[in-house]
Amino acid sequence: RKESRRGQRARDRKDTEHSENDVLLVAKLAMSRIESSGELSGSQLVLSRPDESPYAFYCCSEDGEFVVGDWTPRVDDEGKPIVGVNVVREVYRGHLGPALSMERSPHFPDLFLTVGDWRFHVWKLGVAQPLLSCSFSPHYLRCGRWSPHRPGVFFIG
C-alpha cells in the first residue's frame, strides 16, 4: 500500500509541475483578413529564423490559406503602443481545408511545404501562387517533411 500511495503522489506532483518541454502561450494575436472582413484562425505555425526579423511568422489558416505575418510592436507619435493593429501582411489561397502540416525547407529558407486535404503545395515567400502543387490525390494527405540531406526531396504521407 505504501508504494502505491507514493507512486500516486509522484504522479500527482508530476501532473502539476511544468517540464522544460512544455509550451506555454505567451502571446495571443488577432489575425484579420486583408481583403475582406473576418478573422483568420491559424492551424500550423512556423516562427522566424535567427537571421530574420524576430517578429516574423508564417502560418496556415483553418480555411487553407498560407499567411505571412509580422507582429512587430507599433507605437504612435507619443511612443504609446498601438493596440489592435493587424499582424497579417500577405494571404494566399492554397487548400480547401486546414493544412495539417507546414514546414520550412532546411536548405532554402524562403520555401515552405504545406500539406492538407488532397494536395500539397511548395510556396516561395513573395510569390502569390505555389511554385509546385500536386493534382488532387485519391487519398487524404496528412503530413509532409523536407529531406534533411537532399534539397529537392520531400516526403508526403
Q: Kindly report the average pLDDT of the chain as a whole number.
A: 82
Which of 111, 95, 113 lies closest to 155 in space, CA to CA? Answer: 113
What confidence tens digit (pLDDT) does each residue in 130-143 have? 999 988 888 889 99
Model pTM greater than 0.95? no
